Structure 1
Amino acid sequence: MAASTNLKSWIASANDRGTDFPLANLPYGVFTHANTTRIGVAIGDQILDLQSCAGEGLLASLPAAVVDACTATALNPLMALGAEFWSALRGRVTELLHESAGPEIQRSAAAMLVPQRDAMMRLPAYIGDYTDFYASIHHATRVGKLFRPDNPLLPNYKYAPIGYHGRASSIVVSGTEIRRPSGQTKPQQATEPTFGPSKSFDYELEAGIFIGPGNVMGESIPIAEAERHIFGLCLMNDWSARDVQSWEYQPLGPFLAKNFATSISPWIVSMEALAPYRVAMSPREEGDPVALAYLTSATADRDAIDLTLEVYLQSTQMREQKMQAERVSGGNLRDLYWSIRQLVTHHASNGCNLRAGDLLATGTISGPEEGSEGCLLEMKHRREPLRLPTGEVRAFLEDGDEVTFRAFAQCEGLPRIGFGVCSGLVAGS
């Protein structure tokens, strides 16, 4: 079936204006239902069970490698196949769910649906390695000003994407409770550090980039080929203990302040689904250096994605008073200084071998204006503190706070496609 952005499904909920998962989206995830873990595709408020589709012959027109990958319990085998195979599967799923599908196909596919409310979502892939970047110049500048008011950006920032290797074992799926970490902290006025629960607990609004086919160790990934190595995007909250971080980060960077938990959304939105929402990166300031040749893209007018990201916060008092979560900030992926294409290319530029299921992250996504801060630490520049509808003030997260990220791409003439949610509730230490 030819690609289209105005698709209708025979599944009614997929045609609802507010759904994150219309037929134009079709994100992949892994879920457990009836004591069985399977790969699925989100459609409206349902999940299409790909393992059952394969077993019933609904995917028989696809290459055997695709059918086999759909019977796995993690997305790594599918990720490793490459863009041509992903596109073929996406096309077949679109045929099965499109309103033009015949009555027999609709009956067969309907038997493969699982209501999302009845499923338990899992991590979508085995994540062997995780790298976090620092790709938002607005975030880097605001945070830098807190520590170096006259020189917020270090000299390398505008020449190379900055990142660090994170901890894959503590990545958890949305909805997992997050325990407040403990660590060494040293207030400025103290003479020695102490150990205890973090008092400056924060969230970080990020996008995750799942790697598809990897590269051979010792070989780089040219920027023109970078997106062929990207399976898709998810939402990410890289929880941070700011007081631990400020004491430990020099000279080697983030460590215990970051490695205790990272939450990701369960659904991975494909680059093919996001293709209609490609835009140019936000312009750099006059006088900024030109990117080095290996980071220079021939498609700069489409290197960004017009993706709106939002942060919602709900305190214990708000839940007790039946108040909805409050939107506290929002940003856009197009405002990054470094594109996701550049992040992949730079990561492999020294011959580092990426593997299917590896996860890269953008770092905190922030915009230039007030209200677009991607974390609480950045809000210190505001004239007024963050105040919730209950009158509570937040400098950092309190126990019982629940943080929820949402994201969607939408523009005139195109459907709205979303990412679901990435949420976590802060528990005591």
Structure 2
Amino acid sequence: MRGKPSRCGILLFGYPLGVSDVVTHTARRLAGLGYEIDLFVDEVSFAESPFHSDNPSICIKVVSLNRKSEGILLDSRGVPCRGGFQSAVRKWPSLDAFLQQNSSFPRFPLYLSKVRDLAGAGNHHLLIGIEPFGLIAARFMQLFCDAPLLYYNMELFQRRNCRSEDMTMLKDLEIEASRECTFTVIQDEERAKIFVRENGIEWDRLQFLPVSTSGPAVTGRSDYFRRLFDLPEEKRIIVYAGHITGWAMCREIVEAAQNWPENHVLVMNTWKENASCESYFQEMVRAAGPNCFFNTRPIRRELFTEALSSADVALMFYRPIDENFTETGSSSNKLAHYLQAGLPVVASDFPSIKRILDRYGCGITVSHPVDAAHAIGVILHEHESFREAARMAFQDHFDFDRAFSPVQEKIEKLLTCTDGVRSLRV
């Protein structure tokens, strides 16, 4: 690259940065190409799931949401009275209307205001919005500069789930902003069909990128969980690693484990800081048997895949709440990590998951956690074959370094076209 490096702004609000590998790997990959990266994330999300980088080209801007400590005044709507922010908001009438109505997301107006201050006057050559709030913030920034806009749609946001006026208006804003994007990154064709139907986006403005992770597939085995819980060699370790919550059927998993063979143990591992303080987690612990072990200290990301490799089989279940959950075959962070660790998977029998597990022979789908015991037995009987298939599935479908190349090519073309200093719109 010649001259001053292009600067990319990546915006998140209410979304866990530290465990969002597609987002962090995007930042790392673009920084590795010589671009300057600004990651804007609200302080609440960052505290829940932090991310750190020693790359000087990645600047993590943690947005404070404490107005009192900074003497920030709010009007009767909860919108900051500062620095021309309110007149800026009026440039986007739908956003202005949302902020007048909004009571469900009281910290978002302050995030918008602070991001505008932190971003500066038209200093970015590319803006990437993560999820609806990040997209809306990025579109708001775009009103004042010439930067192209991209959308990383990680979770399907469907109108059928908008059960309040605030949510309906938020969906309307997401649609408006997504139509201003040069392209949207989404995981696969099935999820794309839903997104196109909901948002009215042309198919050729989509780019597929599975939720994936970077680095080689693990071929060996660590003893991480065995050492952590002092488990003897004869114990078979079955792991669940992810968000401890009702939609992931975690309580049903620990209840089902009580009927497993004596030499099977269950490890429940969470990424979330202070998850053990939540009522659902405590209910789950009370429902667990003596063969269930809980790791409540998040594992450092650079050790995570190695830690997982100490298990024998991994679990992945979802309630069929809507298409965001049932069409999760290419959008599950835990599935990418399981397969990278060489772990065969027992998972919900949704077609989107079944297609992948059956294509590679890397796991078995069942209707409910109570049915997992038989599937685990089948996998352990042919364990090495399933493990090799898991690694193959990762390399072919969930390897970020391979899957990101088409997205990278498009971004590089955009940045080549928009290289140079952007000027503030007045």
Using the size of structure 2 for normalisation, the TM-score is 0.28
Structure with more of its chain in helix, by fraction:
2
Structure with more of its chain in strand, by fraction:
1
Using the size of structure 1 for normalisation, the TM-score is 0.28
